[in-house]
Amino acid sequence: MNGDERRKKIINILSSSKSPVAGVALAKELDVSRQVIVQDIALLRANGAAIFSTNRGYLIQADKQYSRVLKVVHEDDEVEEELSTIVDAGGHVKDVFVYHKVYGVIRAHMDIKSRRDVRNYLEEIRTGKSSLLKNVTSGYHYHTICAESEEVLDAIQEELKQKGFLAKLQDYEPVDFWGDNEDEAKA
């Protein structure tokens, strides 16, 4: 079982339990060390899972919402299809952001939950003097997508992939434009 599968199993175990589940019990059931469970819990929390630690173990908040950041790319005339694909599958587009080589991360709140929100957003873009944020990075941009389960997020990701909207992830290495890195200054 890989890390993603194990973390999904942790979510399932915690979701189906009415009482806290000890880290030792999770480790034993998943055949890993307690430290691996601690790391998995930290990753799940970083991805939006509402997992709480108690003196008796881990609990998951009943009204859960999961999130995932997806890198996408498309043309201007495909924005409606991209956003509609997400909301039709049960997703909520929380924001859009880009990594600009000079300015760093530029982020904008979107809060798109329905086709009506999609239409309103597109109308604001059409009638305003601004262009889409994706256009400052040759169409590449990121969305934070929220949903009620990992399965819904998986379905959204798969549908975006099938439509050709998912972009290949690459490692991002920040560039020190101000010369604050002493090692670079010595080189």
Tokens of 57: 């173990």
The reply, when asked if residue 82 is annotated as ligand binding, is yes
The 10 Å Cβ neighbour count of residue 90 is 17
The reply, when asked if residue 92 is annotated as ligand binding, is no
Q: State the Cα–Cα distance between residues 70 and 153, nearest whole angstrom.
A: 10
The reply, when asked if residue 74 is annotated as ligand binding, is yes
Angle, helices 23-30 vs 3-16, to 10°: value is: 130
The edge-to-edge listing of strands for the beta sheet with 92-100 is 66-73, 140-147, 92-100, 104-112
Nearest to 67 by CA among 43, 85, 49: 49
The reply, when asked if residue 141 is annotated as ligand binding, is yes
Residues annotated as binding site for Ni(2+)?
74, 82, 141, 143
Residues annotated as binding site?
74, 82, 141, 143
